């Protein structure tokens, strides 16, 4: 075996080992949360800690279902997350196409402004967003949770980078055949951007589904709260005592939809991120 081949094998083994170690550290909190949802309160706070439950407390999930209206909160989160995701995909694809393939005055400057908003910390936008929603009298409505997420600067950036890789010759040929700009976008560009749309959909869905601070600010009606906000109340639903086992059980229920969406679309997500990163420039 040549030295180069041995070196490649060594590098590959080392890379795989690092990925497994990093993946283990990333997955550890989720594994701890899942196992903690089957423990008692005393076992969770015990020192030294125990990894596996001494007795599997499936009743914790039953308590969660009875303590909060999980079905209603789940439907609220689903409605908000799905609507926000669909809206963000539409606006991001249209804006990405405009910045990637159309020529108009101020295009680069406008795109740069959108790009800069990506580095603004999330909490700095909460007060202005709340003031706008309050003046529009949208507090305690689903629109208050949906509208701020319909325009996504990261989505615009990602779709623009992906669409830059689509050959202009293909679009020029369609124009010669008499295609309108919208028909080119709908029938040619969108089908080619399915991997990027799949990647963006999981990102937006995850952000919307797991958002806690914004729904907590805009919803005071318990029937309109999201699952994440409802889980927060699980920690103190019994005589003011912190009930970690209920919070962990609720969090385990809440993370299932995100995992299912990711597992269902992981191939498209990986393909979209890879292609966007490799061909996004120029």
Instruction: Say how many domains are in the chain.
Output: 1
Residues constituting the chain? 282
Residue 116 lies in a domain: yes
User: Which pair of tokens denotes residue 237?
Assistant: 């639903």
Q: Give me the residues paired with residue 256 across strands.
A: none
Residue 73 lies in a domain: yes
What residue numbers bound the domain in which 187 lies? 58-279
Residue 43 lies in a domain: no
Q: What is the dihedral of CA 249, 251, 69, 229, to 10 degrees?
A: 140
Residue 34 lies in a domain: no
In this structure, what CATH number is given to the domain that contains residue 227? 1.10.3720.10
Nearest to 247 by CA among 268, 232, 258: 232
Whether the model clears a pTM of 0.85, i.e. scores above it, the answer is no
pLDDT at 235: 63
Top mean-pLDDT range of 79-88, 166-175, 234-243:
79-88
Residue 37 lies in a domain: no
Res. 68 pLDDT band, cuts 50 70 90: confident
36, 224 contact by CB (below 8 A): no
Residue 65 lies in a domain: yes
pLDDT at 194: 86
C-alpha to C-alpha distance for 178 and 194, rounded to whole angstroms:
24
Angle, alpha carbons 17-34-82 (nearest 5°)? 95
Neighbours of 56 (CB within 10 A): 12
Residue 69 lies in a domain: yes
Res. 87 pLDDT band, cuts 50 70 90: very high
pLDDT at 195: 84
Estimate the share of the chain in helix, then strand, then coil, as percent rounded to the nearest 5: 75, 0, 25
C-alpha to C-alpha distance for 100 and 98, rounded to whole angstroms:
6
The string of pLDDT tens digits covering residues 232-261 is 777 655 555 667 788 888 888 888 888 887
pLDDT at 270: 67
Q: Give me the residues paired with residue 182 across strands.
A: none
Query: Is residue 83 pLDDT above 90, yes or no?
Result: yes
The string of pLDDT tens digits covering residues 132-157 is 999 999 999 999 999 999 988 999 99
Q: Give me the residues paired with residue 241 across strands.
A: 238
Residue 28 lies in a domain: no
Mean confidence (pLDDT) of the chain: 84
pLDDT at 274: 61
Query: Is residue 107 pLDDT above 50, yes or no?
Result: yes
């Amino acid at each position: 075996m040549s030295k180069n081949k041995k070196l490649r094998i060594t590098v590959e083994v080392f890379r795989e080992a690092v990925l497994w170690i990093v993946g283990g550290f990333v997955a550890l909190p989720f594994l701890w949360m899942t196992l903690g949802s089957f423990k008692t309160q005393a076992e969770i706070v015990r020192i030294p800690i125990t990894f596996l439950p001494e007795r599997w407390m499936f009743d914790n999930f039953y308590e969660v279902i009875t303590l909060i209206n999980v079905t209603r909160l789940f439907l609220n989160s689903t409605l908000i997350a799905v609507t926000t995701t669909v809206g963000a995909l539409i606006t991001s694809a249209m804006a990405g196409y405009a910045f990637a393939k159309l020529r108009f005055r101020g295009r680069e400057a406008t795109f740069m402004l959108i790009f800069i908003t990506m580095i603004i910390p999330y909490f700095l936008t909460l007060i202005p967003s709340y003031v706008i929603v309050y003046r529009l009298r949208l507090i305690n409505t689903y629109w208050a949770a949906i509208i701020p997420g319909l325009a996504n600067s990261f989505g615009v950036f990602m779709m623009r980078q992906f669409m830059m890789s689509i050959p202009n010759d293909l679009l020029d040929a369609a124009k010669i055949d008499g295609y309108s700009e919208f028909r080119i976008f709908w029938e040619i560009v969108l089908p080619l951007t399915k991997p990027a749309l799949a990647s963006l959909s999981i990102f937006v869905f995850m952000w919307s589904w797991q958002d806690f601070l914004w729904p907590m600010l805009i919803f005071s009606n318990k029937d309109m709260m999201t699952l994440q906000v409802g889980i927060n109340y699980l920690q103190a639903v019994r005589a003011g005592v912190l009930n970690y086992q209920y919070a962990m059980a609720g969090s385990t229920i809440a993370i299932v939809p995100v995992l299912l969406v990711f597992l269902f679309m992981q191939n498209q997500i990986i393909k979209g991120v890879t292609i966007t990163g490799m061909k996004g420039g120029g």
